[in-house]
Chains A and B, each alone.
Chain A
């Protein structure tokens, strides 16, 4: 296949585009510029782009925290269903809710505690 075949059927959005182009035999050289647009009417913008100011590390820690507590909730649900399993996750759960005074808090209390974090 040659370049000629490559160039067959180039896309056309409007067949008439460039059909009346005249360059008087030579290459047209242009230094013209469009007229300048000077808006004097203020269009309020629909949206504002804001940059999250939170430190990326803090946000990461928050995210991890959220994930963990999310896991906790799920673990609790698991715990309630398979209560007798003697899970090795229990000590970690206790460590995680370090602020809690109760050694073995009820599920509901723990989740409200999380919400406050």
Chain B
């Protein structure tokens, strides 16, 4: 039982909430800045595209981000306002690697009282940079004068008559800063302007206003000079108003959706890009004319659709027709605008997409390959951007071609003939046979090399010095000319024994026959035997890889031996033994390799059981230190180096769990490869397959490219509709996914608006509209053109992600929960969906269903249904029964022999029971607004007992059980908290009350918690005593994890954290303690019993001298002896590295 938590982000937020373009890092740099929740990403536009500069963590959720340029300045400054009202002005100083972000001004602009506006925070900056205007609370307008010579910028509130403000902006070209706003009252929406006196801090007059504009107007676009004025975009009309006159147009194209964002294209405000909520990109053109007096006025407004983009949250024009589209609901994009249509009706082409998991509405952790490593499948995105994302720690292979070939025992690429750059031949070794493939373009054909011995297995093959090819078989080492392909020299071992193990580079060969080891050198048309030695045991594996690039000869060799299970380092050319290391155990080494990663030499030795030892190797003395063991698979492992790029070494470990080994931050990283098994592999650089790998399994050979080293691998399965819930069913090898699509009412009835996963399923079925006791499931009365939600259960193949079956629910029936469960003695596993019949007139649903489906033989059939009196928010399997949260109740259903659900017992003490989790007999209930409750099911009595409750008014978004006594909750002000039940308390009252024993502001809304891990468990010898792992998914697309740490380690991390808080300066000067403090509408309390893992892990990115500073005086009682000892920098690096390996 632990009440100390370590929380860390495994995948940073990906939803783009704001984007701006300006000259930030220098007067000539064109910068793009993206805001992703609490992180900013800085890019610079280059001829090659966007170049990433820096990512910055802000201690707050970025609400508004805007560039502005003070008068006579050549660079832009960045204004940021966070959700907790921290304002800051940032400036870039220095360039390139010396780039620093300076906080020019900062402060908190919150008021003690005031009603936070329902339409969110609005912040605007005067185009002449005289003032910043904020609307944080209803009825108040706050002004920050941008005086340059004052040390204090005094933010002052002004009373504003208009309460409900939809949007506001500063107008251009006004003698005094002038605000234009859209406000709403019971008559409709209106626009109004206010002139501000910065001296008196008040609105001095209303230069102009216009009542009763478009009833859904929500976007103001201020127009720069010479025209001035503003464009107001509504649902049906676009209005231009310059104070004295207006022009309104009602183009039909804007009616279908609501315009959500815009980007100015021309500096003079001639053209604007508009994006709407359906993902349409439009161009708005202001037609201007010059009057007799020289004044330029707007004559007309024209709008054209340019094409479809990701549903945009923000748009910004970069340069030369390239536009960045930031999205919250789908992948962000870089698009190019073309003057000629690219396809019919589309003038844009997508250049690049940026993976986005947001919003994660649900997820499951599954181990599909049964490799002991979880992968996440998330319900991501919404509407047309809806998708499933498969997130896996590992590396991806993109398959280019594959050939069916059985029993490959080894493969090597060759350059034959005149080819200098590309490999054109592939040698494949089989038992008793060697075959040669010729690669001609993408044609692969079998060929022969006359000088090769082809009736036996090849142990090694490769291009060597003097334009020769070396083939080593069990009988001999053969030199073959690359041009004539004829044999030119042959070396045979002096004894009758067959060659058993070999290793070679371009000029050196090591050849073993049993205990005998020969060292050979390759000359022109000759192989010279230079040394011979007899080892204590038979040789199991050999390596003479080069440790330094550019050198020709290896100065050491690595040998693994049978019987004594040792790894030895021999000196070349003498074969004198430098050092040996006994590996222990009885499993023989199968593959040994010396390699240099990041300037550090390693010796890797893989054993027959899939485990691997690795050492740091001194290549002069042969001394092996820092012995470590890692489990890579369960089968004999073969280690091969390959080049993903020239500068770094990568090792491919072929086994039943193929792994790529590389170095990051001077530590070895082991990444899974998304392939089931690989027996052998080699690099291949052929004309048709450049920079590729050839990989073989028992039956297939594949050519493919390897992804750039990346920890989390994300695969996208587009659905084209909103996924809401997901469940995994192992027995049928499928995922159940609840989705929602929007259908449109047409003259001939409800029609599918666009094809998506549910409309393209192999099989379909539906619940007929029916009247039943609980309520009426009828078609809502819809006007033509109106959209309505259609809910479906999809059954998706776990391998192909093909939709096997789609079951459509009744009209106005919303599917809100899903579980895959086995009930009672019934051996089958069912998909069970909980629904609600939604009637817009009712405050909460009064009827719903629990529907039980069976997926068998590719078809989904309904087995049973149960009418319920409300919405079924959550369903879980509970000891062979079904537990459901229905409106304010928690109900337990039994599965009868007649295959029907029968109510057993209920619990009533909730407002709305939204979330359920169970462990043993205990049930954790998350309530809409009354935090968490723990129930116990009494088997004997057949009822629920309320054990304990958290009495704080937390509005829950997710709950999870940590252990029998400890519970984790996420609430809607972006906080996490931990509660504990106190079973030892003597008083009943104390026992019934949960103790809040952990508080943390995570800064993002957690939608789902799941037990599970993304990394292989217990693979590493770790120095960090973490326990358990709960993953969470958020609205902004980040994935994090919460793990438990013991008291001693918590105190140590706590000390490290407080040192890092001082060492790492906060951009925007927001205190770390403020950022992580639990904060909602009712209280603010300091973070407690939580460690900020993101801050801890940033230790690894610090320069060495800062690490040293942080480390000085830090002590730890690692052994539990009660005495604390100083921690060295290296120890600390190792601890933090081990912490990073849990995700």
Interface of A with B (CB < 8 Å)? 1-4, 6-8, 10-23, 27-43, 45-52, 56, 59-60, 63
B1064: chain A residues within 8 A (beta carbon): 38-40
> Top 3 nearest A-B pairs by Cβ distance?
A49-B107, A34-B52, A47-B105
B425-452 vs A: 1/0 string, CB under 8 Å?
0000000000000000000000000000
Known contacts A21-B48, A28-B351, A39-B101: A51-B111 contact under CB 8 Å: yes
In the complex, whether B995 has a CB less than 8 A from a CB of chain A is no
Closest approach, in angstroms, between the C-beta of A74 and any C-beta of chain B?
A: 16
Known contacts A18-B49, A47-B153: A3-B355 contact under CB 8 Å: no
A32: chain B residues within 8 A (beta carbon): 52
In the complex, whether B12 has a CB less than 8 A from a CB of chain A is yes
- CB–CB B350/A27 < 8 A: yes
Closest approach, in angstroms, between the C-beta of B793 and any C-beta of chain A?
A: 30
**Interface window among B206-214, B1026-1034, B1095-1103:** B1095-1103
In the complex, whether B634 has a CB less than 8 A from a CB of chain A is no
Q: Which of B109, B347, B1098, B1101 contacts A49 (CB 8 A)?
A: B109
Q: Which of B57, B156, B317, B1065 contacts A11 (CB 8 A)?
A: B317
CA–CA, A41 and B725, complex, Å: 46
A-B contact pairs, 8 of them (CB 8 A): A29-B331, A31-B710, A34-B41, A39-B1065, A49-B152, A50-B154, A51-B142, A52-B155
- CB–CB A49/B153 < 8 A: yes
**Interface size bucket, B side?**
35 or more
Known contacts A17-B47, A18-B47: A49-B54 contact under CB 8 Å: no
- CB–CB B155/A38 < 8 A: no
- CB–CB B339/A4 < 8 A: yes
- CB–CB B321/A10 < 8 A: yes
CA–CA, A79 and B400, complex, Å: 96
- CB–CB B104/A42 < 8 A: no
Q: Which of A20, A47, A50 contacts B47 (CB 8 A)?
A: A20
Closest approach, in angstroms, between the C-beta of B927 and any C-beta of chain A?
A: 35
Closest approach, in angstroms, between the C-beta of A64 and any C-beta of chain B?
A: 11
Q: Which of A35, A36, A38, A45 contacts B1069 (CB 8 A)?
A: A45
- CB–CB A30/B354 < 8 A: yes
CA–CA, A33 and B356, complex, Å: 12
**Interface window among B298-306, B549-557, B781-789:** B298-306
- CB–CB A18/B1102 < 8 A: no
CA–CA, A1 and B285, complex, Å: 11
B108: chain A residues within 8 A (beta carbon): 49, 51
- How many inter-chain residue pairs (CB < 8 Å) link A and B? 200
- CB–CB B320/A17 < 8 A: yes
CA–CA, A56 and B55, complex, Å: 39
Closest to A3 in B: B304
- CB–CB A40/B104 < 8 A: no
Q: Which of A4, A11, A35, A38 contacts B340 (CB 8 A)?
A: A4
- CB–CB B30/A14 < 8 A: yes
A50: chain B residues within 8 A (beta carbon): 107, 152-155
Closest approach, in angstroms, between the C-beta of B274 and any C-beta of chain A?
A: 12
A43: chain B residues within 8 A (beta carbon): 93, 100, 102-103, 1065
- CB–CB B347/A7 < 8 A: yes
B156: chain A residues within 8 A (beta carbon): 52, 59
- CB–CB A48/B321 < 8 A: no
Closest to B156 in A: A52
Closest to A60 in B: B159
Closest approach, in angstroms, between the C-beta of B108 and any C-beta of chain A?
A: 7
- CB–CB B1065/A27 < 8 A: no
In the complex, whether B761 has a CB less than 8 A from a CB of chain A is no
- CB–CB A30/B107 < 8 A: no
- CB–CB A45/B104 < 8 A: yes
A37: chain B residues within 8 A (beta carbon): 54-56, 99, 101, 1067
Closest to B153 in A: A49
In the complex, whether B266 has a CB less than 8 A from a CB of chain A is yes
B1069: chain A residues within 8 A (beta carbon): 45
| CB neighbors of A among B37-82 (8 A) | 41-43, 45-49, 52-57
B1046-1078 vs A: 1/0 string, CB under 8 Å?
000000000000000001110101000000000
Interface of B with A (CB < 8 Å)? 12, 28, 30, 41-43, 45-49, 52-57, 87, 89, 93, 99-111, 140, 142, 144, 150-157, 159, 200, 202, 265-267, 271, 283, 285, 302, 304-306, 317-322, 331, 336-341, 347, 350-355, 710, 714, 1063-1065, 1067, 1069, 1098, 1101-1103, 1106
Known contacts A34-B42, A38-B1098: A48-B353 contact under CB 8 Å: no
Closest to A19 in B: B47
Closest to B346 in A: A3
Known contacts A17-B45, A20-B47, A27-B353: A47-B104 contact under CB 8 Å: yes
Closest approach, in angstroms, between the C-beta of A100 and any C-beta of chain B?
A: 27
CA–CA, A3 and B348, complex, Å: 11
CA–CA, A3 and B1067, complex, Å: 43
- CB–CB B347/A10 < 8 A: no
Closest approach, in angstroms, between the C-beta of A32 and any C-beta of chain B?
A: 7
A8: chain B residues within 8 A (beta carbon): 339
- CB–CB B87/A11 < 8 A: no
CA–CA, A23 and B349, complex, Å: 12
Q: Which of B101, B151, B714 contacts A47 (CB 8 A)?
A: B151
Q: Which of A6, A14, A22, A28 contacts B304 (CB 8 A)?
A: A6
Closest approach, in angstroms, between the C-beta of A102 and any C-beta of chain B?
A: 32
CA–CA, A7 and B56, complex, Å: 35
Known contacts A12-B320, A17-B46, A48-B153: A36-B1098 contact under CB 8 Å: yes
- CB–CB B347/A48 < 8 A: no
Closest to A27 in B: B350
Closest approach, in angstroms, between the C-beta of A25 and any C-beta of chain B?
A: 12
B202: chain A residues within 8 A (beta carbon): 63
B42: chain A residues within 8 A (beta carbon): 34
Closest to A36 in B: B55
B355: chain A residues within 8 A (beta carbon): 29-31
Closest to B350 in A: A27
Known contacts A32-B52, A45-B103, A50-B155: A6-B302 contact under CB 8 Å: yes
Q: Which of A2, A16, A36 has the most CB of B within 10 A?
A: A36
Known contacts A39-B1067, A47-B150: A17-B322 contact under CB 8 Å: yes
Closest approach, in angstroms, between the C-beta of A61 and any C-beta of chain B?
A: 12
CA–CA, A41 and B317, complex, Å: 34
Closest to A53 in B: B112
- CB–CB B302/A49 < 8 A: no
CA–CA, A12 and B319, complex, Å: 5
Known contacts A28-B352, A48-B105, A52-B157: A7-B283 contact under CB 8 Å: yes
A19: chain B residues within 8 A (beta carbon): 47, 320
CA–CA, A71 and B341, complex, Å: 67
- CB–CB A13/B1065 < 8 A: no
- CB–CB B1102/A17 < 8 A: no
CA–CA, A16 and B104, complex, Å: 33
Closest to B111 in A: A51
- CB–CB A27/B351 < 8 A: yes
Known: A7-B337, A46-B151. 13 other contacts (CB 8 A): A6-B283, A6-B302, A7-B347, A8-B339, A11-B265, A14-B30, A17-B30, A18-B45, A27-B350, A31-B714, A35-B54, A37-B101, A40-B1063
Closest to A56 in B: B157
Closest approach, in angstroms, between the C-beta of A45 and any C-beta of chain B?
A: 5
Known contacts A29-B352, A49-B144: A40-B150 contact under CB 8 Å: no
Closest approach, in angstroms, between the C-beta of A67 and any C-beta of chain B?
A: 9
B320: chain A residues within 8 A (beta carbon): 10, 12, 15, 17-19
Closest to B102 in A: A43
CA–CA, A31 and B47, complex, Å: 20
Closest to A51 in B: B155
Closest approach, in angstroms, between the C-beta of B271 and any C-beta of chain A?
A: 7
Closest to B1065 in A: A39
B154: chain A residues within 8 A (beta carbon): 50-52
Q: Which of A11, A35, A36 contacts B319 (CB 8 A)?
A: A11
Closest approach, in angstroms, between the C-beta of B322 and any C-beta of chain A?
A: 5
CA–CA, A20 and B47, complex, Å: 5
B347: chain A residues within 8 A (beta carbon): 3-4, 7
